Structure 1
């Protein structure tokens, strides 16, 4: 089973080309779901599961994997579907926001390569739509891409507050009234960013994918705004439907009206892979989700550059 990811280290060539690869799997039913391959470390049969008292209802227990203790999350139950049956014994080990966890699934299908333009935002409504970042089609089958950040935030609630001592920094006082643009397809990620940055009295604009973010920037430029004066910086996620953060950054750099904007890649992907891609596409900084104190440091560094 692990062979399904044998070539994952070679897949970085897709980044910056508005392409991605997704790992297809099933939960409690025939519906196909997916997550980005870059977040997956391995796929394997469920090792011995240790039950834990007072665990979250969606956490089955913990496993020991090569000396590391990992929680095992019933992904079906976590997105509002019926829990997986006891015979479900496949896990996807993935890293999000600098933490590693295992997701229990019914079965893993295969890896599929596609263009972000083929990926659309999920339909509005209730139910598990709230747990999706996007949808696409593979071989005429609907595929739902899960908002894992939302799942994890409900299991381990985030804290976006920054200490009053940090906020008292006189350099940060210069942020009051300045404007930033946040581009992310995850409502949870946007809420996290907004809650932290609002503590600096910043004026915040949001967009739910790169195409919407670029449209907003072009509109401001068409209206005659000097974007370097208007915006302190742009935060963009990497993975988004229609246009990813790498392509958004490339489009910004190719437009004389906005080419000097300070762009921060803010993503649940992490590691040297992203640092290399940041340099490749021309971002100014890279920050793994979600680190409120580090987020404030990025703002402070940017304000110092303006001094």
Structure 2
């Protein structure tokens, strides 16, 4: 187990090529779940937790990790399951995303697997809106469920989604009635956050949930317009982690296509770290913004609309 934990720390800085590494874990029984290793700072056996009065019932307490307090969320309970009772055998996945550090309490940790994003598929159709899956995959003939941790965290600790009046009153030298911003994200929570922010300043959006769908949509639109797609679709806002095609690959495909390369691409991700800035340059993205700050996102869109 110690080797596996060490491996998590080493691999959080890996740069993908439409690939990811999944940390597999269990919440109950034999069912395997997965989380992108890039989100995981460390894995440790559950330490003693300090109660957090007034917190969500899904928050089990505060872990003091090297002097830093980290909120610990019972991931099984937060996704509709039973409370994890035996903390002595449980583990915490310490994650960093959406500009926060938090711990997710899980029953057991399995291993790390290396995969291609095209092996990661959207949840089955008909699953409804109440589920907590962002994707699924198959490993050793067993279904692995990838949990939408953004949805979990948004329900426990909602972010401010309001765009300030200062940003709302900023004007751009472009007719907003004739443009559409393409928003690409596998998380319904994240898609709707971006949609609400942009529509609050009069910007129309098109929503898709993975990079492959986004590329197909852009190519079809470019063919329909016979070029000059940038006049009508000037900006793509894309997540990085997505089924079938990640945001890095989507960006590289856009910038390599003569019909699409004038489109500005903003990578908008819960992943954080210096490596993202390097990947922005490598794939040709115009900007990286960590989720989720509505003023920062809208200001970036306004900036690129004025270019």
When normalised by structure 1's length, the TM-score is 0.94
Report 1:1-307 matches (<5 A). Answer: 1-7=1-7, 8-9=9-10, 12-15=13-16, 17-87=17-87, 88-126=89-127, 130-171=131-172, 175=176, 177-225=178-226, 226-305=228-307
Distance in 2 separating the partners of 1:202 and 1:120:
30
Contact 1:2 1:42 (8 Å CA) reproduced: no
1:161-214 Cα distance to aligned partner (Å, 9 max, x none): 112222112338854553100000000000100010111111100110001001
More deviation, 150-159/35-44: 150-159
Distance in 2 separating the partners of 1:173 and 1:159:
28
Distance in 2 separating the partners of 1:220 and 1:106:
47
Contact 1:80 1:127 (8 Å CA) reproduced: no
Distance in 1 separating the partners of 2:24 and 2:11:
19
In the comparison of the two structures, how many residue pairs are matched? 304
Contact 1:149 1:186 (8 Å CA) reproduced: yes
Cα displacement (A) at 1:232: 2.4
Distance in 1 separating the partners of 2:25 and 2:243:
19
Contact 1:79 1:128 (8 Å CA) reproduced: no
Tell me the secondary structure at the aligned position of residue 297 of structure 1.
helix
Contact 1:249 1:283 (8 Å CA) reproduced: yes
Tell me the secondary structure at the aligned position of residue 290 of structure 1.
coil
Distance in 2 separating the partners of 1:200 and 1:174:
12
Distance in 1 separating the partners of 2:51 and 2:173:
46
Distance in 1 separating the partners of 2:99 and 2:263:
27
Change (3 A) 1:30 1:283: same
Distance in 1 separating the partners of 2:93 and 2:46:
9
Cα displacement (A) at 1:93: 0.3
When normalised by structure 2's length, the TM-score is 0.94
1:11-56 Cα distance to aligned partner (Å, 9 max, x none): 65551x2111000000022110010000000000111111122110
Gaps of 5+ in 2: none
Gaps of 5+ in 1: none
Distance in 2 separating the partners of 1:112 and 1:303:
41
